[in-house]
Amino acid sequence: MRIAMRIGLQVPSFTYPGGPDRIGPVFGRIARDADQAGLHSLWVMDHVFQIATVGPAEEPMLEAYSALAYAAALTEHITLGTMVTGSVYRHPGLLVKTVTTLDVLSGGRAWLGIGAAWNGEEAAGLGIPFPPLAERFERLEEILRIAHQMWSGDESPFTGEHYRLARPLNSPAALRSPHPPILIGGSGEKKTLRLVAQYADACNLMDSPELPRKLDVLREHCARVGRPYEEIEKTAISVLPSDASVEQALDTAGRFAEQGIDQLVFSSMKPHEAQVVPLLGEVVEQSAKIVPVGR
């Protein structure tokens, strides 16, 4: 069966006209409109300070899972996730519980998007322990193992180098079967893409000339671990220009589809502007003919 490309929206900014008292209503409208427009997914960043590529650190930034829970209550179909959770920002048992809660309350629409974390400035600012990169990857792998164990219903003790869970009970269980899909963000060839092949249901890559190579590396890792490459959903993120037209967005989607991307997430720096979600809704309607290579 030919599967058309999926279209998602990332909301990286909560700087909206009217100030903080308008954040809730405006973000809620964005979520409802994206849901009604037929977008496949809605994503927020897992940051506590705004990141430099979007704006000054002092700009408004919502806690990710609280924002997603709010969006879940206002929507019916769109899937919801972080692009992506910082691996060391939450204890893994509580993280799995949080994503499970989102999945249950949303009717089975949650993702676990996760990565090794990179923003040491915000971690230091709020006093979040932020170990060196090698250790963050070690912790990320243990978190992935814990997630698989908890979502399988296995309550036996988990003993790792960094985490110890005496009884990883997870009740209620997630609604999504076999579990909320795990997406790993990042393009590191030795560690990140290996973890995708071994543990994830999806990867997320940046818009870059190196993207085809990254997919080739992922294919090689899949072969090493005996995993069908086709099982993994390939997603990518691309900034949606403020003056983009439907035709330009469709051309972007087609370019990614030709490279084998299954889901394209458009990141809008001004998602509150009236034309953004309707434009992506038109892209969804017209993207039925865009079939990713390999699908």
Q: Please report the domains of the chain, with CATH numbers, ordered by start residue.
A: 6-289 (3.20.20.30)
Q: What is the pLDDT of residues 86-134, one digit of tens each?
A: 999 999 999 999 999 999 999 999 999 999 999 999 999 999 999 999 9
Cis peptide preceding 172, ω within 30 of 0: yes
Q: What is the pLDDT of residue 1?
A: 45
Q: What is the pLDDT of residue 96?
A: 98
Instruction: Count the alpha carbons within 13 Å of 110 in the hemisphere toward its beta carbon.
Output: 34
Q: Among 184, 82, 181, which Cα is nearest to 137's? A: 184
291 pLDDT above the threshold of 80: no
∠ CA 126-131-137, rounded to 5°: 120
∠ CA 56-59-65, rounded to 5°: 120
Q: What is the pLDDT of residue 174?
A: 98
294 pLDDT above the threshold of 70: no
Return d(Cα 31, Cα 34) in angstroms, integer: 5
Return d(Cα 65, Cα 68) in angstroms, integer: 5
Q: CA dist 148 to 19, 95, 276, Å?
A: 41, 12, 36
Average pLDDT value over all residues in the chain: 96
